[in-house]
Structure 1
Amino acid sequence: MVFHAGAGRAAPGKAKEARFAAVWKPRAGNVFRRHRSGSSVFCTKAKGVAGCGRSQLEHHKASKALVCETARRGRRVAVRAAESPSKGKQQPAAFYRVRIFTFIGILVGYACYYLTRNSLTYTAPVMVASKELGLDVSSIGAMTSIFPIAYGMSKFVSGVLGSMMSASRLLGLGLICTGLINVCFGFGSSLAWFCTLWAMNGILQGVGGPCCARILTSWFATEERGTYWGMWNIAHNLGGFMAPILAGSAAATLGWKWGMWAPGMIGIVVGCVLVLGVKDKPETAGFDPVEEEAPPSAEEEAGDEVPESKQSIKQILFDNVLRNPFIWGMAFTYFFVYVIRQGVTSWFVFYLLQEKGASDAGIAAARVSGLELGGLVGSLLAGRLSDMYISKSKGKGGVVGKRVQVVIAYTIGVALMLLAFRCVPAAWPAGQWLCIFMIGFFLYGPQMLIGLCGAELVGPSSVGASEGFLGWVAYLGAANAGVPLSIIVRDYGWNAYFTTLLCACGGALLLLSPMTNLKSYTQRVESKKKLN
């Protein structure tokens, strides 16, 4: 009898590790033969299948004993190495070149999503001033009210459906389509045309975030993911920075049509680059995965359980996402974080005008400018801190739990800085700007890390669905910072406003407290392998 098996690739500086799938074939001599890197290891057949000799295996410095076991069906034997072959594996130089191109692609691509999303904001004043259109502020309000409704639902649906499609192609095609909508918008002249196209833009905008999350988690391992997730998160700030410069300047100098055409054409070009150049994951580009997927369980081998990569939309959404209680915990935490974020961005200008001595809206806006700048610094540092915390733990404790602990620290910082901002004197504008900067610093860290935690709680095929669900719930929180907070400010004053934001901080902390030891999907895979 002869035993044939596929060879594994050795990691540098370690004993060679391998996975083996074995097949029985008739051969004289009751001998097993295993081909490995050009060498043969002979194992004498005992009664049934008892074990293998190690005469030549020792010569090749194999560090782990091989386990031989009878299979469930026919006469199949499966032998696996004790450790993951991808652990500690060195990727070729080409891998890092492709990876940095992919990262730059999703960074610039998502910034262009923000550009084509905010183009109307900076073109609208010129549209209202145009006599031929006959629009007023209420007309612009109708357009901008339709967008978040379409966007919130789209982010959820596209996250689920996108799990079954190529993330890079969906990302690029979505950007091409939203660019085309911006271009078509410039050819319109009626309110119905504008509202219809802007609702379609909201639907397409929901594609961007979940696709970027899937690509990023496939290309970056756990110990570096927080840093790169934080760096990718600056796409929000980059797109927000580009919109007034490009769309606003084009609309003011060339007419409102160019305020939509210019962002649209940029979106189309960048979308084509994404479709042609960005790869979904390392395997698509011919490299090894950065982290090993789960080994097939006994149920999967018997056909009773479907591997995650082959699951249906229903299984991905319900079994992997909606039935995970910690995903719900992250979602409601996101809800509270977005109540705070939207409450701050929507109402701080009014608060400065009424309570802190700002003489006009321009001065108030200048003081609020520290929010985005602080958010940029805070989100970058939050990702780096969580990676350092995970690295120093040396595998002890849950990876997601470590990031949750950073989120808790940042949320406490938000609460303290809200109190400081409430107490800062009206005669000290520099102190007000500094408090707003620190609020942005602490607020954007949780906004970034909660999305990463949700991505790491599920397997690679479910990341899009997880991010879509989290984004949908987050937008519900943002919606509740509009009319409800306006009623609170009008009827109960600014003290009640700040009390509401502090209660949102408290709600987030309560939800996060049971999740400080959560393990990531990758950690659960490794635990499962050890049990097998």
Structure 2
Amino acid sequence: MENKNNTVAYLPEMTAQEQKKFKYWERRTMLACIVGYAMFYFVRKNISIAMPYMNEELGISKTDLGLFLTLHGLIYGLSKFINGMWGDRSNARYFLVSGLLMCAVANLFFGLSSSILVLGIFWVINGWFQGMGVPPCTRLMTHWITPEKLATKMSLWNTSHSIGAGLAIISCGYIVSINWGNYFAETSILSQHWRWCFLIPALLVVIVGIFVFFLVRDTPSSVGLPELKGEKSKSQSKKEESAEFKAFVKKHVFMNPTIWIIAVGNFFLYITRFAILDWGPTMLKEHLHLDISQAGWSVAAFEIAGIAGMLAAGWSTDKFFGGRAPRTCVICMSMSTLCLISLSMLNEHSSLILANLILISAGFFIYGPQALVGIAAANIATKRAAATAGGFCGLFGYGSTIVSGWGIGLLVEKTDWSIAIYALIGVAIMSALIFALAWKSKANGYED
């Protein structure tokens, strides 16, 4: 059925008034998902700017800082996987906001702590609650957006990664540049720059979390609208706890070769992404001798370029590859390899403009596949197991922090940044080769 006004023609079971209301709530849900998930980065990637100062003011080594990143990432990946299974059967509104508020609490305690052990504990706790961000957003979008438009719309949502990380790094770069000793006694812990990278974002996240709670609703039926075509009724959805649901998840997620290929490719992709995002400010400060605020802007440029990369990747996947995301991933990771090769040629005498152009190009090509992994997993597993599939791929992605966190920190301490960049080139090549194994895979699993 075609709608003459071209408004929600893909909702044939709804009246014109229902379609209008649906579009309103669809836009509102997208806004809530973008704003809500962006805020997770304010209480996650703030540590990237804080690390050089934690090294100077607390004497924490790069290896220990890398261990923070690794443990946080591993717990986050595990949380994303477990919460993905819970998220498929939970109210996304409460799930999303609860995760945000608990991350804010963990950041508050982290910013007020000094012991390496206590800092590590609170950062690991933060990692667990960070895993409550993606599953509810995945659930929301697969219930409000049809599969035919999911790649484009989820790519739009994925810009929240870059928006959040970019704004967090820029703002924290300015926060640490403030001389807090002018406002607090020298003996006070609040005179230390790095602490405010956690205290101020924590307060901001609480405020925005309340806003998101009032903005979002779980499913169309929550606001009196029919579910999307193909959605199970409430009486049927209760069977998701049954053996039939477990068999469905086993077939479409855990025994699905394409999901495994995407997940392993995601492991290598995330090493590349996190190495630049987490260590970028430190690398630019030490390797290229940039001021920390300049380094923050440079890494933010990497993130901002990622927004364009996500949108371009989602659009091109739907336009040229019929929704087959792995094909776009292969092309993007091949181009990312070339960007890293260019980065390896820079030194302290290189032009800042050239360095930023390379980072911008790298961000464009790395964030394309980063967005598509979740989209591909959601489409292949179908909306019934979308959060579980996303969590499974996320488990591999954040398992990569063993390499991008502790591994990179140790490698740099034992060698130098040049060797670390060469290692990342090899990692990017591996990611492209693995994604290529899924080149002939189907676009989605709805016909299986």
Tell me the TM-score range normalised by the shorter chain. Answer: 0.7 to 0.9
- 2:217 alignment partner in structure 1: 279
Mark the CA change 1:129 to 1:280 in structure 2 (over 3 Å): closer, same or farther. same
Mark the CA change 1:434 to 1:245 in structure 2 (over 3 Å): closer, same or farther. closer
For these two proteins, the number of residue pairs brought into alignment is 422
- 1:433 alignment partner in structure 2: 356
In structure 2, give the amino acid aligned to 1:374.
A
Alignment of 1:133-152 (within 5 A): 135-137=58-60, 141=65, 146-152=71-77
Paired with 2:199 and 2:259, the residues of 1 have a C-alpha distance of 39
Paired with 1:178 and 1:11, the residues of 2 have a C-alpha distance of 45
Mark the CA change 1:350 to 1:189 in structure 2 (over 3 Å): closer, same or farther. closer
Q: Which structure dedicates a bigger proportion of its chain to strand?
A: 1
- Write out per-residue CA displacement over residues 7-38 of structure 1, whole angstroms, 9 at most, x where no aligned residue: xxx7657xxxxxxxxxxxxxxxxxxxxxxxxx
SS in 2 for 1:137: coil
Paired with 2:411 and 2:166, the residues of 1 have a C-alpha distance of 32
Return the offset for 1:448.
0.9
Mark the CA change 1:483 to 1:143 in structure 2 (over 3 Å): closer, same or farther. closer
SS in 1 for 2:384: helix
Mark the CA change 1:85 to 1:271 in structure 2 (over 3 Å): closer, same or farther. closer
Mark the CA change 1:88 to 1:328 in structure 2 (over 3 Å): closer, same or farther. farther
Alignment equivalent of 2:141, drawn from 213, 216, 228: 216
In structure 1, give the amino acid aligned to 2:369.
P
Alignment of 1:61-72 (within 5 A): none
Contact 2:101 2:205 in 1 (8 A): yes
Paired with 1:220 and 1:508, the residues of 2 have a C-alpha distance of 29
- 1:379 alignment partner in structure 2: 310
- 2:187 alignment partner in structure 1: none
How much is the aligned-residue C-alpha RMSD, in angstroms? 4.0
- 2:403 alignment partner in structure 1: 480
- The yes-or-no answer on 1:182 pairing with 2:107 is yes
Identical aligned pairs, as a percentage?
24
Contact 1:378 1:440 in 2 (8 A): yes
Alignment of 1:6-25 (within 5 A): 12=3
Alignment equivalent of 2:367, drawn from 438, 444, 456: 444
Mark the CA change 1:175 to 1:488 in structure 2 (over 3 Å): closer, same or farther. closer
- 2:226 alignment partner in structure 1: 288
Contact 1:86 1:290 in 2 (8 A): no
Paired with 1:497 and 1:145, the residues of 2 have a C-alpha distance of 16
Contact 1:155 1:210 in 2 (8 A): yes
- The yes-or-no answer on 1:509 pairing with 2:432 is yes
Contact 2:166 2:300 in 1 (8 A): no
SS in 2 for 1:106: helix
- The yes-or-no answer on 1:163 pairing with 2:88 is yes
- Write out per-residue CA displacement over residues 259-282 of structure 1, whole angstroms, 9 at most, x where no aligned residue: 544433332333334444412232
Paired with 2:120 and 2:421, the residues of 1 have a C-alpha distance of 35
Return the offset for 1:439.
1.6
- 1:340 alignment partner in structure 2: 272
Mark the CA change 1:226 to 1:242 in structure 2 (over 3 Å): closer, same or farther. same
Paired with 2:384 and 2:132, the residues of 1 have a C-alpha distance of 16
Alignment equivalent of 2:131, drawn from 206, 215, 233: 206
- 2:260 alignment partner in structure 1: 328
Mark the CA change 1:386 to 1:290 in structure 2 (over 3 Å): closer, same or farther. farther
SS in 2 for 1:164: coil
Contact 1:293 1:522 in 2 (8 A): no
Gaps of 5+ in 1: 1-9, 14-83, 296-300, 391-398, 526-532
Question: Between Structure 1 and Structure 2, whose CA radius of gyration is higher?
Answer: 1
Paired with 1:348 and 1:421, the residues of 2 have a C-alpha distance of 12
Gaps of 5+ in 2: 5-9, 185-189
Mark the CA change 1:107 to 1:366 in structure 2 (over 3 Å): closer, same or farther. closer
Higher relative contact order (CA 8 A, sep 6+): 2
- The yes-or-no answer on 1:268 pairing with 2:195 is no
Contact 2:84 2:388 in 1 (8 A): yes
Alignment of 1:341-380 (within 5 A): 341-345=273-277, 358-360=288-290, 362=292, 370-380=301-311
Q: TM-score, normalised by structure 2?
A: 0.78
In structure 1, give the amino acid aligned to 2:379.
E
Return the offset for 1:103.
0.9
Mark the CA change 1:481 to 1:187 in structure 2 (over 3 Å): closer, same or farther. closer
Paired with 1:195 and 1:432, the residues of 2 have a C-alpha distance of 33
Mark the CA change 1:457 to 1:88 in structure 2 (over 3 Å): closer, same or farther. farther
